Amino acid sequence: MIPLLSSIPFIVHFSLSVLAAVRLLYRKLEVNTTLAWLFLLFGLPVVGVVLYVLFGDHRLGQRRMKMGERLRSFFMQVFNVQEASLPPNVAGTPRYEALSRSILADSGFPVLAGLSPQFFTDAGELYAVMQADIDAAQESICLEFYILDPAGQVANVLAAVERAAQRGVDCKILADDFGSKPFFRSHWPKRLRKAGVQIVRSLRVNLFSSFFRRSDLRNHRKLLVCDQRVGYVGSYNLADPKLFKANRGVGQWVDMMMRVEGPVVDALTSVCLSDYLLDNVGYQISRADLNALPIARCAEAGEGIPVSMQVLPSGPEMRNSTIYEVLVSAIFSAQKRLRIVSPYFIPDPAVQLALVSAAKRGVEVEIIVPERLDSRLAQFASQSSYRELLRAGVRLIRYRGGLLHTKLVLVDDEVSLFGTVNIDMRSFFLNLELTMVIYDAATSAALWEHSGSYLPDSVPLDPESWAKRPEWHQFLENILRLASPIL
């Protein structure tokens, strides 16, 4: 009887491990990833199964994926979106035409016109313009941010949202449950709800939800849409850089945000409203839920210089890892010069191969990263790739003027990737992200200039000096690289 009882835990563990292993095989992950999970499942009793339940599956589920596709398609039909033509400098380049078709196939968003995009690098100026657009809104406001911290200048933005709701504007705030803890713990949610603002916790974090989806999936998007007329997207969280994480010793956070008008705002509205419905209503979205939204076909396109751009949402709600594919393709397509700006730079083998290949074939490759990060673990994981890149001729430049948080990829002089995506596995596969793919030489030139302003406060890494760093640094870097998806 005793041997039988003692074998029950083993039978339970083995059965659960087999079920998880079967799911792994059907997911068709990379061979190394699958083998690592199989080792944990069968080699660590109980612990392996628990780890797989919590962190093994980076998807939000088939139902959310299918409903998201249906919602984006619905909004595109309601808004009567008309695809814009690519500019001549891009239309005649097969690699860029193929890029736009790939994004359309996965996201449902065609190339659209954005009118006279403006880029902001100063938080005070950005929040003042945001506040003015919110005060001018007459119909709807939708904010979606990973970090919403109501301290300092951000309080003025929230007060503007409160005033808008009080005058009858439909106001929605969608904030990541983990990243926006300061907001949810403050008096602001109660105050804003009293004014009529609809507030939703995106991707709730709790013990119960951990049994149904990976508990560290985050909504990393930064997005504001006013009256379906003007949109903001970029790397700025809704947090005052003078106050946010001021005690971390990394300086002020340095970011960039784009303000844009025109038809492309329809696509941004679709992303914001889709995320709102999926987090607030769930997957059983009815016609009544859609009718309750303040959506309408825009009567006027507005005035300004048209710029061809494409909205690319990405993350575990999407059918494919489109941003990852687009990034790798863009790097391989570079012929003259390439610049990447990213705070968290932990390239996987494919991205690293693309960068090394570009440098070896004569492309001027520059990677600008902050000298100091708010996470020492992420800092060491990032540094594990430097040696090979430096050997290939890649220029690695470390910014010293604060925590450089801008996310930007510039390919030659025609295409720019601008938004929320870091060069790491978390951004590629685990976070909900939002990227603007911009097909325009003038905008590319402006972004080359904006990002070039980081160089005077930066220092290039010297390959010989870098090779002489302590051995224990190198060992720690290689160990922490393995944990990059959860850093």
Question: For residue range 350-367, what is the model confidence (pLDDT) as tens digits?
Answer: 999 999 999 999 999 999
Nearest residue to 271 via CA among 312, 307, 308, 306:
312
* 28: annotated active-site residue: no
CB-based contact 311:114 (threshold 8 Å): no
pLDDT above 70 as % of the chain = 89
- Taking only the tens place, the pLDDT of each residue in 458-467 is 999 998 888 8
What pLDDT shows up at residue 30?
63
CB-based contact 413:440 (threshold 8 Å): no
Residue type, 271: V
Helix (H) or strand (E) holding 143: strand 140-145
What pLDDT shows up at residue 5?
45
C-alpha angle 278-281-286 in degrees, rounded to nearest 5 = 100
Catalytic residue, candidates 106, 133, 227, 240: 227
CB-based contact 124:131 (threshold 8 Å): no
What pLDDT shows up at residue 95?
80
Structure token pair of residue 46: 């109980």
Catalytic residue, candidates 13, 58, 172, 407: 407
Confidence check: pLDDT of 301 > 90: no
- 86-95, 130-139, 428-437: the lowest-pLDDT one: 86-95
* 405: annotated active-site residue: yes
- Taking only the tens place, the pLDDT of each residue in 165-186 is 999 999 999 999 999 999 999 9
Paired strand residues for 438: 309, 416
Catalytic residue, candidates 106, 222, 255, 348: 222
Mean pLDDT along residues 245-257: 90
Counting beta carbons within 10 angstroms of the beta carbon of residue 95, is it exposed (0 to 12), middle (13 to 18) or buried (19 or more)?
middle
Give dist(CA 124, CA 323) in Å, integer.
Answer: 31
* 462: annotated active-site residue: no
Catalytic residue, candidates 135, 216, 374, 412: 412
Catalytic residue, candidates 58, 220, 255, 440: 220
Give dist(CA 135, CA 155) in Å, integer.
Answer: 14
- 146-155, 288-297, 455-464: the lowest-pLDDT one: 288-297
* 245: annotated active-site residue: no
What pLDDT shows up at residue 213?
59
Give dist(CA 61, CA 63) in Å, integer.
Answer: 5
